[in-house]
Structure 1
């Protein structure tokens, strides 16, 4: 406990302070966080029961939905088996070396760290399993509910996604609260965060490779070569495509945002605990748990009250729920700040982070919504051929990075300046609380994001179940809203990751300074590091290498998709060639769906490990060569380059996807035209951008930042330079 600067006396719940004002010690806020987490689990259970009780009687839909559910479960089980081996090796290494080598006599601390790492990985894995379980039920319910109208169908899709939102955020807050309460050690908390991040890195990468392998293969052979509909059951890759939506956009994105949420709280608690140790009390730690709990409470209220209005516009309904949740959080935290006498400047930093998150989402929406000019102009360019489709998407994708990066920059600057007058390290703590603020409504964000693949699957099931054009039109409308909102949630996730890793850079400096005092390199109260001079050649060395890592990481993932998709295209061709009557659509002729699922699974598991290992090894090499200054530069370069590429790829991919859908809706020649074929090729390029490499960069940045903080003591004493 003492290592975090928190004594047992300070953890006792207090009723009144010396002035007679009502207040709570940090234990009080931890208890509130735990209770709020349990409340979110209760809501998730109710939503799951509600979705499951919705009627479904179409035999074809039931059968295909079963294929999807079985394929997703098979992939996750195989992926988690591979990741269990990786996490087991990491846990052993952590036990031997962290927080200090085991031969130095702190065996219990090392065991505690390894246990926290495993706990983080297990919770992250469980969140993915829960999301898949409900999403593969909700897709069929959403499709059949569309026969009764768009409102019930929307509610099935949204509430199915909300199970994931409530479970993921509840688990992240509960995990952080329990680890901190039981250990009181922020370094152990970083170990828990690293467990969540390392699993999320591979889960997002593996799911992304799987889903885009199937999506690209199905589109190229089905739409471009044969001119058959997107979800035509004749296509052998169509079930794998639907499985991929779940393992990539439900389990993968859930793990990504779970990781970001845990990392933001961990970074804030590292700096908050250090401030509390210097200034006395537990005010700053209390503030982290207070705001995180109120953010989850706001999401619970937002999810429970979400409905589609009279205008029957699903995009408006989803965005309105986000704005309502934002307003609720702002009001609740303002009330808590006044009642518990917390620091108003910190509240201001949190509110700035939340506001900028919404602004980044709006900017992403502009570049990816088919009602806006960039998508429409890209669709128009498709009339001249696929080269112009690609050029337009790349260009608008690069332009789209400016507002997002300006937002992150201003959020960091304003929160820093706002909290600097408080003295000490409050300026960096302000940035970490801006990240907590931006991620405060992550429960609603995940709910919106998981809604997307559910309604996407529902659209395919409606077509395969022959539910009629009216039902397909409804599910098309829901799917279009999912694509638009998914672009917003990805922009939000990237922005949140940006602030989180800036906060983790501050946490790294705190860890280095604590290690330097412990090793006698500086006197107690002095700082070994206050920042990084970019003109220092060691810092610059790290910065150059760090800036290259996201590009290489992205390339390795996309080459994995490329290789895997080529194998699947060959398999689809084989089935159309060798299965009599398949291409003609003869009755009772069924493709070998399982062959495509198995091929996507095997290929993605083969491809997911190298890219993740490359980033981890590069971080360790730079740290042991150049020490903590080189790592400071490495993290800085990695953050800047990573945020730029993540925003570019996410928005460009979303723009190409919606340009294709805009053409398919009857514009610029419509389905089957040359513009349509060009738009499909643009979407094929964009698929691994937006669903594999782009969102995986968020986790890559977080992973290297956490490794730097955990290894700070070793980098400080064992480097070559």
Structure 2
């Protein structure tokens, strides 16, 4: 059943991982600088490795427990495909590997980037970006490797079936390994976010506000923990997050393609392979785009942003051209319409990125207005930041709305009705693939951020010259914008991916009747389940706004989003309080810290962040896993449908608000540190530090974790569909 063009997917996987290794080896050949720079970098590497090792121990226990439950569902209750427990484990394993390798590259690069900035701004930018590219290429390479392996293995072991059920079965099984990736990503994001913000808040409140010492000053005991946190949260966490998004969008689209072209032989196979081939082509173009990034000495923030965007836009432009020929080669009947859906998704991703850049970059009015509000104190800074964040949700929501409508219409040829709905849903799924097609370079621009931040910290702690610090500050400020843009992109892709997964949920319901429960003749809307369409299942389960089960599910979905955000925010607050107490204790009891004659106890602060993150991440993560199961058992398929609609819509809006508010507060602080409105140490600067401190858990813990929550709840619903179909109460 395998088409010869499929070989492009594993080949691209090998190429992506090979270039990631090449960039990593090139980076390690660069000098790490002075002995002090090397010692500081070693502290960060040691702390990050210790944290991930402890986190993976905890996550392993959770994974074994969940695997045992899935095994019982498969081999005991008979409501699960027998391959699912193994798919779940491999998804989690590959997601963890993506985060680990990205973090290793980031912690190895930071001191080298700081040292490169001693030569020129361009040297620092190129080294930081290519180090971030290691993360981007590892993520896409591992996703394509995982998909290649599973598709080949299942194609070999799944028996031939009549019609198009073999491909449907293969795709249905493969979708479920996304839950393993989602579960690992949530622990990585929540745990890493709590870790980094506990350290960051402690360092800012006591060091910058109370002790009036600069950011990343070596006298501050929390600085090493802060630098460690940037890596475990924004590198390992983001890598695991986008690994899951990339995999889920490809696999959900493949399943929807198998349903849209059901029983059409080679055409069905082409529809299944299309998202994989598009992802492979985008990965190849990302590799080329990475080599285009460079800048000049003394470049402004807009020029630095333009330097990074050149590679992104180059890759995006070529994917538009090459995807047309790829779809034509796969011989899809309406390939021009599907091509239009890809363009809609790609344009939506770029549009969301540009919107985020406008609302969070210090080069534009919204962030400058927040900085100006600091002249009247921290209260007005908070108000301005909240207002900016709320306003910033409008454009991304409208962009995603337009992308959904266009991708649906393009795929159906602007035909509406029950007989075209599967085609339209396939268009939405492949739009998500289009948005993520150039993830290799897009993620590189995001991973660049914490690398530049750590480089600035290393330069400050190593007492490098003012010219070096000026260059690292420029790269750091750019990193704040790229990180905010990356978070907006991740959230936007989560919305489209989750919507594709929601529609694939009903294909899983159909496969449950046909292959797991062996009841293909069960009547669904007066049609045998084996012949029923998506529309038939929606009619059968009464998925409409007059069904109280759907409404109740929607309310529970919104509740889950706000509960999760509150739990993660409070978790940061509790962990940060312990960090504040510890930093104050060290300033009070260790003689010579403020004079620079004694070294703070960095290890104690790292330990506090590690323990706080491990303890606090369990409740929100387990809540996200439990709610879909409980709702499915009580409210059945209608309740789950409402739950997922409520989660996707409210979670998307709240995540955009939190990420953009936090990013704007952070860059408002940076804008003042550049000498505006009084500069460092002024009352205006202290006010923006307070705003940034409030925004830290917004943009680095709760906000980015919400996009994983959205996908995990959808994925958990998909994987436990057998329980909702078979054992529901209402």
Q: Same fold by TM (over 0.5)?
A: yes
For the 8 Å contact 1:350–1:437, the answer to whether it is kept is yes
For 1:237-636, list aligned pairs within 5 A.
Answer: 237-281=222-266, 282-308=269-295, 312=299, 313-342=303-332, 343-421=335-413, 423=420, 425-517=422-514, 518-519=518-519, 520-522=521-523, 523=528, 524-527=530-533, 528-530=536-538, 532-586=543-597, 589-636=598-645
1:187-246 CA deviation, whole Å, 9 max, x = no partner?
Answer: 321221111110001111000000000001000001110110001100000000000010
Over 3 Å counting, the alpha-carbon distance change for 1:475 and 1:310 in structure 2 is closer
For the 8 Å contact 1:650–1:691, the answer to whether it is kept is yes
Residue 30 of structure 1 pairs with residue 36 of structure 2: no
Over 3 Å counting, the alpha-carbon distance change for 1:310 and 1:352 in structure 2 is farther
Deviation at 1:463, TM superposition (A): 1.5
Deviation at 1:513, TM superposition (A): 2.6
Deviation at 1:401, TM superposition (A): 0.3
Deviation at 1:526, TM superposition (A): 1.9
1:659-701 CA deviation, whole Å, 9 max, x = no partner?
Answer: 1111111111211122111111100010000000001011111
Deviation at 1:340, TM superposition (A): 4.1
Deviation at 1:444, TM superposition (A): 0.9
Range with bigger deviation, 681-690 or 668-677: 668-677
Distance between the aligned counterparts of 1:300 and 1:64, measured in 2? Answer: 31
For the 8 Å contact 1:227–1:672, the answer to whether it is kept is yes
1:123-142 CA deviation, whole Å, 9 max, x = no partner?
Answer: 11111111111111110110
Partner of 2:49: 73
1:98-139 CA deviation, whole Å, 9 max, x = no partner?
Answer: 4xx535498xx52x2211111111111111111111111110
1:435-474 CA deviation, whole Å, 9 max, x = no partner?
Answer: 0000101111111111111111111111122220000001
Partner of 2:154: 183
For the 8 Å contact 1:210–1:600, the answer to whether it is kept is yes
For the 8 Å contact 2:113–2:455, the answer to whether it is kept is yes
Normalised by the length of structure 1, the TM-score is: 0.94
1:541-600 CA deviation, whole Å, 9 max, x = no partner?
Answer: 1011111111110110110100000001101111111111112222xx100000000000
Deviation at 1:382, TM superposition (A): 1.2
Partner of 1:102: 76
Distance between the aligned counterparts of 2:225 and 2:95, measured in 1? Answer: 24
Distance between the aligned counterparts of 1:466 and 1:585, measured in 2? Answer: 12
Residue 212 of structure 1 pairs with residue 197 of structure 2: yes
Partner of 1:659: 668
Distance between the aligned counterparts of 2:5 and 2:651, measured in 1? Answer: 34
Deviation at 1:338, TM superposition (A): 3.6
Over 3 Å counting, the alpha-carbon distance change for 1:264 and 1:120 in structure 2 is same
Deviation at 1:629, TM superposition (A): 0.7
Partner of 1:50: 26
For the 8 Å contact 2:553–2:641, the answer to whether it is kept is yes
Partner of 2:165: none
Partner of 2:727: 718
For the 8 Å contact 1:360–1:404, the answer to whether it is kept is yes
Normalised by the length of structure 2, the TM-score is: 0.92
Distance between the aligned counterparts of 1:103 and 1:717, measured in 2? Answer: 10
Q: Which consecutive residues of structure 2, in runs of 5 or more, have no partner in the other structure?
A: 156-169
SS for the counterpart of 2:188 is helix
Cα RMSD for the two superposed structures: 1.5
1:307-341 CA deviation, whole Å, 9 max, x = no partner?
Answer: 22577432221122111111121122123234443
Distance between the aligned counterparts of 2:79 and 2:573, measured in 1? Answer: 49
For the 8 Å contact 2:92–2:180, the answer to whether it is kept is yes
1:399-420 CA deviation, whole Å, 9 max, x = no partner?
Answer: 0000001111111111111112
Distance between the aligned counterparts of 1:42 and 1:393, measured in 2? Answer: 43
Distance between the aligned counterparts of 2:211 and 2:78, measured in 1? Answer: 66
Distance between the aligned counterparts of 2:649 and 2:78, measured in 1? Answer: 37
Range with bigger deviation, 479-488 or 208-217: 479-488
Over 3 Å counting, the alpha-carbon distance change for 1:521 and 1:575 in structure 2 is same
Distance between the aligned counterparts of 2:276 and 2:296, measured in 1? Answer: 34
1:47-82 CA deviation, whole Å, 9 max, x = no partner?
Answer: 011100012330000000000000000000000000
Over 3 Å counting, the alpha-carbon distance change for 1:132 and 1:365 in structure 2 is same
Partner of 1:674: 683
Partner of 1:7: none
